[in-house]
Amino acid sequence: MFRRISQFCKQLFEDNQRPTETTPAGLSLEVVARKHHAISRKQISENATKVLYRLHKAGFKAYLVGGGVRDILLGLEPKDFDVVTDATPEQIKKLFRNCRLVGRRFRLAHIVFGRDVIEVATLRGHHVDSGEKVSKTNAEGRLLRDNVYGTIDEDAERRDFTVNALYYDISDFSIHSYGGGLQDLDSRTLRLIGDPQKRYREDPVRMLRAVRFSTKLDMHIDPAAAEPIYELAPLLQDIPAARMYEEVLKLFFNGHALNNYELMREFGLFEPLFPLVEAVLRDDPNGPAAKMIKAIMRNTDQRVAEDKAVTPAFFYAAMLWYPLSQRADDIALESGLTTYDAFYAAMGDVMEQQCRSISIPRRFSTPAKDIWQLQLRFERNQGTRAFKFIEHPKFRAAYDLLLLRAEAEGGHTAKSAAWWRSFVEGSDEQRSVIARSTKTSKSRNNRRRRSPKKTNKPAQE
Ligand code: ATP
Ligand code: MG
């Protein structure tokens, strides 16, 4: 595939008749005619093609842009197709019955075809001299609102990487390549458009995108784009937690979790997202937490590769397990609460703290807490209680976490995991033998309880 692009670009440089132009801000532009590039309409989804043609026929400019063009040229299947046009969101809405206008920071049109959504944006311009209503930055230079419309040249100047500033023009099937995007695709270079410091300050998420694209597309980050990341990484703390939630999914559920994690730690990008986990890793760089995180990443990648479901509930339960147990120990020590009560209090604390940087929706944080609570039952429920326990709807996820803990910790946890593994994997008959030959251990909770007073907390079973 790599050779295919090289050949394509070689041919492009030899044959392209059009001289390179420059945008007003000094970004280079090459327009590559249909006969000199490899994108055909067949590679673009039917729905995206429909949208492009409808806009074109109504007299608007319409381009496929970003990942769609980039990935087709790389021989990959695009995740989604993004369209840009000179039609305003209101004009787009008039053209499509199935159109929804969304977004505040970026006002966008979503053209909905059942489960497939084509995102259509209006070409963005520069935001100098424009009023607060359309564009706004904060003290660090971060863009808070960004709805100034402009030309394709201006739009290109505002994209993140040159390989993302490739536009496929539906009017003549040419590709507009800005800032040497095609050449960078060929040499596998992720190069930021404009001054890296300024571009990261405008939107710190671009640092995470640099990591994500470099692992996903097997590209190296241009030194000028890599250099400021470590210093600017703390700016991620200011990104709204809801946006961060989406970015984290893209980083860890895209099949490259392990590579992304390692690169993020190298660049200091992990800490602002997972401060509690980073603290535990720092205390004990080769301890169970470090092993656990790598195991989660490896497992997630494997599941994605096998097309199996991955859920944020399990992911966050596992990521935060060691910060949680440490917090529970601290609370128990400080307050004299029972193991269970301290654990219960720690669950609330840890989840709340994590949600300050990444807002985990309740539909995932609640089952994550279930997975945590069930960890306490693995020891107590060996024996005949195991039959009831494995019926619990969250048993499988909790058991998977137990296996990860066993891998990370060894010792007592590994022994417990081994018991459960033989029970879970055993036939009905084997299970009976295993369960009956095991003496149920008394709850540690009950043994350590200092006061016999009843609490209102839900029972563990
Ligand atoms: P993928 O969809 O595979 O993750 P993509 O490049 O299409 O990759 P999107 O998030 O879908 O990424 O964005 C589409 C395009 O919008 C990008 O290619 C880029 O040109 C532009 N873009 C997205 N986010 C930013 C950003 N934070 N700053 C500047 N440009 C951006
Ligand atoms: Mg995309």
Residue 17, domain CATH:
3.30.460.10
- Give the mutation target among 84, 161, 164, 260 for probing the ligand 1 site: most ligand atoms within 8 A of CB: 164
CB 178 within 8 A of CB 156: yes
Of the pLDDT bands very low, low, confident and very high (cuts 50, 70, 90), residue 257 is: very high
Q: Does residue 63 form part of some domain?
A: yes
Q: Whose CA is nearest to atom 26 of ligand 1?
A: 160
Last-in-domain residue among 139, 157, 187: 187
Q: Is the pLDDT of residue 306 over 50?
A: yes
Is the C-alpha dihedral spanning 109, 213, 207, 189 positive or negative? negative
Say yes or no: CB of residue 199 within 6 Å of ligand 1. no
Is residue 214 a part of any domain in this protein? no
Judged against a pLDDT cut of 90, whether residue 52 lies above it is answered with yes
Q: Beta strands 220-221 and 116-122: pairing type?
A: unpaired
200-247: pLDDT as tens digits? 999 999 999 999 999 999 999 999 999 999 999 999 999 999 999 999
Q: What is the pLDDT of residue 122?
A: 95
| pLDDT above 60: residue 9 | no
153 Cβ below 6 A of ligand 1: no
pLDDT score at 445:
44
pLDDT band at 2 (very low <50, low <70, confident <90, very high): very low
Please tell me whether residues 177 and 295 are part of one structural domain. Answer: no
Local confidence band at 25 (pLDDT 50, 70, 90 cut-offs): confident
| 280 has pLDDT over 80 | yes
Q: How far is the CA of 435 from the centre of ligand 2 (A)?
A: 52
Task: For the chain, give the mean pLDDT.
Answer: 88
Pocket test for ligand 1, best of 82, 105, 166 (most atoms within 8 A of CB): 82
| Cα(401)–Cα(109) distance, integer angstroms | 41
Which residues, listed in sequence order, are joined to residue 428 by a DSSP beta bridge?
none
pLDDT at position 430 is: 81
Number of C-beta neighbours around residue 301 at 10 A: 20
Is the pLDDT assigned to residue 438 strictly greater than 80?
Answer: no
3-state SS, one letter per residue, for the chain: CHHHHHHHHHHHHHHCCCCCEECCCCCEEEEECHHHCCCCHHHCCHHHHHHHHHHHHCCCCEEEECHHHHHHHCCCCCCCCEEEECCCHHHHHHHCCCEEEECCCCCEEEEEECCEEEEEEECECCCCCCCCCCEEECCCCCEEEECCECCHHHHHHCCCEHHHCEEEECCCCCEEEECCHHHHHHCCEECECCCHHHHHHHCCHHHHHHHHHHHHCCCEECHHHHCCHHHHHHHHHHCCHHHHHHHHHHHHCCCCHHHHHHHHHHCCCCCCCCHHHHHHHHHCCCCHHHHHHHHHHHHHHHHHHCCCCCCHHHHHHHHCHHHHHHHHHHHHHHHCCCHHHHHHHHHHHHHHHHHHHCCCCHHHHHHHHHHHHHHCHHHHCCCCCHHHHCCCCCHHHHHHHHHHHHHHHCHHHHHHHHHHHHHHHCCHHHHHHHHHCCCCCCCHHHHHCCCCCCCCCCCCC
Cα(79) to centroid(ligand 2), Å: 6
* pLDDT for 143: 59
- 10 Å CB burial of residue 309 (0-12, 13-18, 19+) is exposed
159 lines ligand 1 (CB under 6 A): yes
Assess if residue 218 is contained within a domain: no
pLDDT at residue 146 in the model: 64
With respect to residue 15, please indicate whether it lies within any of the assigned structural domains: yes
pLDDT tier at 128 (50, 70, 90 boundaries)? low
Cβ 164 under 6 angstroms from ligand 1: yes
Q: Which residues are catalytic?
A: 80, 82, 160
Q: What pLDDT score does 136 carry? A: 65
Ranked by mean pLDDT, the top range of 4-13, 363-372, 380-389 is: 363-372
Is pLDDT at 406 greater than 50 in this prediction? yes
Q: What is the pLDDT of residues 180-193, one digit of tens each?
A: 999 999 999 999 99
Of all protein residues, whose CA lies closest to atom 21 belonging to ligand 1? 159
Q: Which ligand has the shortest distance to the CA of 164?
A: 1
Same domain, 158 and 299: no
Residue 380 has pLDDT above 80, yes or no: no
Q: Is the pLDDT of residue 273 over 60?
A: yes
Picking from 166, 187, 208, the residue at the C-terminal end of a domain is 187
Q: Encoding tokens for residue 101?
A: 């206008």
Taking the centre of ligand 1 as the mean of its atom positions, its distance from the CA of residue 131, in whole angstroms, is 25
Instruction: Using the mean position of ligand 1's atoms as its centre, give its distance from the Cα of residue 337 in Å.
Output: 49
Q: According to the model, what pLDDT value does residue 434 have?
A: 76
Place of tokens 């990370």: 408
Ligand number nearest to the C-alpha of 66: 1
Among 73, 22, 34, which Cα is nearest to 170's?
A: 34
Confidence at residue 66, expressed as pLDDT on a 0 to 100 scale:
93
pLDDT (average), residues 327-335: 95
Mean pLDDT, residues 275-295 taken together = 96
Same domain, yes or no: 176 and 41: yes
**Measured CA distances, 237 to 144, 197, 205 (Å):** 15, 17, 10
Q: Is the pLDDT of residue 411 over 80?
A: yes
Going by pLDDT thresholds of 50, 70 and 90, the confidence category of residue 388 is confident
Say if ligand 1 is within 6 A of residue 119 CB: no
Domain edge (last residue) among 153, 187, 221: 187
205 pocket-lining for ligand 1 (C-beta < 6 Å): yes
Of 200, 219, 157, the C-alpha closest to 165 is: 157
Same domain, 179 and 286: no
With a cut of 50, say whether residue 272 has pLDDT above it: yes
In a domain, 179, yes or no: yes
pLDDT bucket at 135, cuts 50 / 70 / 90: low
Tell me, yes or no, whether 179 and 291 share the same domain. Answer: no
Residue 418 has pLDDT above 50, yes or no: yes
In this predicted structure, what is the pLDDT of residue 18?
52
pLDDT for residue 461: 36
Taking 60 as the threshold, does the pLDDT of residue 8 lie above it?
no
Residue 243 lies in a domain: no
Judge if 149 and 12 occupy the same domain: yes
Look at the alpha carbons of 367, 372, 373, 374 in this order and tell me if their dihedral is positive or negative.
Answer: positive
**Which range, of 116-130, 271-285, 331-345, averages the lowest pLDDT?**
116-130
Instruction: Assess whether pLDDT exceeds 50 at residue 322.
Output: yes
> CA-CA distance, 161 to 209, in Å (whole number)?
9
* CATH code of the domain containing 360: 1.10.3090.10
- Contact predicate 104/201, CB 8 Å: no
Q: Band of the pLDDT at 381, cuts 50, 70, 90?
A: confident
Domain that holds residue 164: 7-187
For ligand 1, is residue 82 a contact (CB within 6 Å)? yes
Q: Is 301 in the pocket of ligand 1 (CB under 6 A)?
A: no
Q: How many domains are there within the chain?
A: 2
- Please tell me the distance from the alpha carbon of residue 275 to that of residue 281, in angstroms, as a whole number: 10
What's the confidence (pLDDT) of residue 449? 44
Q: What is the pTM (predicted TM-score) of this model?
A: 0.88
pLDDT of residue 163: 98
Assess whether 296 and 425 both reside in one domain: yes
* pLDDT confidence band for 145 (50 / 70 / 90): low
Residues of the chain above pLDDT 90, percent: 72
Higher pLDDT, 319 or 456: 319
Asked whether residue 2 is domain-assigned, the answer is: no
Does residue 302 belong to any structural domain of this protein?
yes
CA angle at 107 for the pair 105 and 110, rounded to the nearest 5°:
130
> Closest residue (by CA) to atom 7 of ligand 1?
67
290/177 same-domain check: no
Which protein residue has the closest C-alpha to ligand 1 atom 16?
66
pLDDT band at 426 (very low <50, low <70, confident <90, very high): confident
